[in-house]
Amino acid sequence: MISKILIPKNHPRYCSLKIREKLVEGFEKGLVAREGLIAHGRGESFDYLLGEKTIEPALKSIDAASALFILAEHPVISVNGNTAAICASQICDLNRSLEKSSVEINLFYHTHVREELISTELKKYGLKKILGIDPNRSTQIPELESNRRKVDLDGIFVSDVVFVPLEDGDRTIALKKMDKKIITVDLNPLSRTALASDISIIDNIVRALPRIIKSIEYHKKNSTKKELKEIVDSFNNKDILNESLDIMRSNKMLSKI
Ligand code: ATP
Ligand code: MG
């Protein structure tokens, strides 16, 4: 067991260190794979370049993502160990705000124990139905090997829109080949997932999820189906990725030294 240190609130990396703490706790409980800790480190390095703030292009992606979520007939929220460890409660909030959605557990490093632990974690926040865990309702994504291709017959398999935050590129590309519309949250604008998705939100999932939920609530009250379609149709993911990279390149920190 790793002992906790008290992080002062005025520490410049306070939020980042708190997320790390949650991830390490998740690892100790068995929710997060060792490789998940490394994947988080990759994300952190890009967050550094963003100044650990939600940037303008991410806000545009969030707007388009919430429009697509509302328009979807069968949206699925895919959850892995890292997502469960750092934002299980917001995932459940997102599911509540979308009337037709379901939550499916999908693990890159699959074990039944981890699946059970993630399921228990999600239930703590009121989630009753969890897909991806019943072997009798499991099928396979074509063109992917091993456990990574497992999907639920009542979930991703029949979905039209899949939300795959912090996802591996191979799976995202395979889901695109199945004709799914893909929304991701990924701090790396150059990852294969960010490149292959229809809507990439280049932001930390911890910051992005509350904004996605707010945007869904706003559009549910204020926008027509036609307006939502216009938002989705006018969205260009390549532009968003380029704008995000430009912001990272022009990071102002160096000029302060
Ligand atoms: P790809 O397989 O898409 O090319 P990768 O192999 O570099 O990407 P993976 O480990 O497969 O990375 O996927 C995890 C992704 O999640 C990475 O792109 C990483 O930057 C991103 N990531 C990690 N932590 C966070 C976080 N807290 N918020 C948003 N994105 C994150
Ligand atoms: Mg990968």
Rounded distance from Cα 113 to ligand 1 centre (Å): 23
pLDDT at position 231: 98
Please give the number of the atom of ligand 1 that sits closest to the Cα of 187. 30
- pLDDT per position as a tens digit, 185-210: 999 999 999 999 999 999 999 999 99
162 touches 72 (CB < 8 A): no
- Phi-psi map region of 148: left, alpha, beta (phi>0 left; psi -120 to 50 alpha): alpha
pLDDT at position 44: 95
Rounded distance from Cα 200 to ligand 1 centre (Å): 12
Beta bridge partners of 138: 152
SS3 category, 161: strand
- Phi-psi map region of 199: left, alpha, beta (phi>0 left; psi -120 to 50 alpha): beta
Ligand 1: residues whose CB is within 6 Å?
39-40, 42-43, 46, 166, 168-169, 185-188, 191-193, 204-205
Long-range CB contacts for residues 139-142, cutoff 8 Å, separation at least 24: 141/171, 141/174, 141/175, 141/178, 142/174, 142/177, 142/178
Q: What percent of the chain has pLDDT over 70?
A: 94
Where residue 255 falls among pLDDT bands split at 50, 70, 90? low
Residue 253 has pLDDT above 70, yes or no: no
- pLDDT per position as a tens digit, 28-56: 999 999 999 999 999 999 999 999 999 99
Rounded distance from Cα 171 to ligand 2 centre (Å): 9
pLDDT at position 181: 98
Euclidean distance between CA atoms 107 and 148, whole angstroms: 7
| Ordered domains of the chain (ranges, CATH) | 56-249 (3.40.50.12640)
- pLDDT per position as a tens digit, 103-119: 999 998 888 999 999 99
Where residue 143 falls among pLDDT bands split at 50, 70, 90? low
